[in-house]
Amino acid sequence: MNCGYVALIGRPNVGKSTLMNHLLGQKLSITSRKPQTTRHRILGIKTTDAGQMIFMDTPGMHQDQKKVLNRYLNKTADSTLMGVDVALWLLDGLYWHEYDQQIIKKLEQAGLPVILVVNKIDKVEDKAAALAFFAEAAQKFAFRHIVPVSALKNLNLDILERHIFELLPQAEPMYPADQITDRPERFFVAEIIREKLTRRLGDELPYALTVEIQLYQEQPKLTKIYATIWVERDSQKSIVIGKQGEMLKKIGTDARQDIEKLLDQHVYLELWVKVKKGWSDNERALQSLGFIDNPE
């Protein structure tokens, strides 16, 4: 059997989380149309007759280093390349970005086998342009494979999976066959709430929000969850709550429905909105919110 770690890398919002979810056949990483939706490294484990692939979904690699949170996201993405066996570099269609040259440098330094995954290929009608793009890509870096896919439509994911297994070392599985992640349920509960916030308020507050679980209490027929939504300013708190609390109520309903599917149990969910001024640019605040494990 083959077994090993597979890093999913690329710029923000190219579809890394969607790809991992569809490869796993189960939703682990939250998704939205907004960049930087993924903020943590998330492990997704898939076991088949051929072996075990351990995917690592990462925050997008980007140039913006202005805030402590941005630097943390980049550091998390970069560190994922250390200790993995294969890297999947995801591109959003037939398009190079100026920052992609920096990603190539990181990959050269890592010395890993790399598969270039060109996403949203179902939207490309000009086959000649696609072939020209693949030829250009082969000149930029010594990719082991170039695989055009549609993560959303499951197009060519079987081919991608086969190529991944070819590059993984021969080894026994590291995790039980029925395990799909190493994260606890309360982590995914917080992520679900943040996903609903991002989808409802993405145009106004895509990056100013984070979620912290204050109480997670499992009972025989009900799970009680109390969570705090942190924002950076009082004006943002008003937006999250909405007129007469309507927005917060909608977010709570959206989140509770998905959490009940995750836990397969009735859920009591209570949300508070609080202000932690400048949390995304404060290392101590990020540490208290679970972003930084070992601050330097």
By C-alpha distance, which of 78, 68, 53 is closest to 2? 53
Angle formed by the axes of helices 234-241 and 185-201, nearest 10°: 90
Q: What pLDDT was estimated at residue 10?
A: 84
In the block, tokens 């030829």 appear at 135
pLDDT digits (tens, 9 = 90+) for 100-118: 888 898 889 888 999 999 9
Q: Kindly report the pTM of this predicted structure.
A: 0.78
pLDDT digits (tens, 9 = 90+) for 42-68: 789 999 999 999 998 776 565 555 666
Q: Are 256 and 276 in contact (CB under 8 A)?
A: no
Where in the chain are the domains?
2-167, 185-288
Q: Which helix (H) or strand (E) holds 148?
A: strand 145-148
3-class DSSP assignment, residue 130? helix
Angle at 4 between CA 19 and CA 70, to 5 degrees: 55
Residue-wise pLDDT tens for the chain (296 aa)?
899 999 998 887 788 888 998 999 888 775 655 555 555 677 899 999 999 999 987 765 655 556 666 665 666 666 677 789 999 999 988 988 887 888 898 889 888 999 999 999 998 889 899 999 999 999 999 999 999 999 889 999 999 999 999 999 999 999 999 999 888 888 889 989 988 998 888 766 656 788 899 999 999 999 999 999 998 889 999 999 999 999 999 999 999 999 999 899 999 999 999 998 877 776 776 666 666 554 33
By C-alpha distance, which of 70, 43, 125, 129 is closest to 281? 70
Query: What are the structure tokens assigned to 26, written together?
Result: 């189960």
Domain 185-288 is found in CATH 3.30.300.20: yes
Burial 233-263 (b: 16+ CB within 10 A, else e): eeebbebbbeeeeebbeebbebbbebbeeeb
**Fold of domain 2-167:** Rossmann fold (3.40.50)
Phi, psi of 114 (to 5 degrees): -125, 135
Give the Å distances, CA to CA, from 19 to 9, 120, 161.
Answer: 11, 11, 11
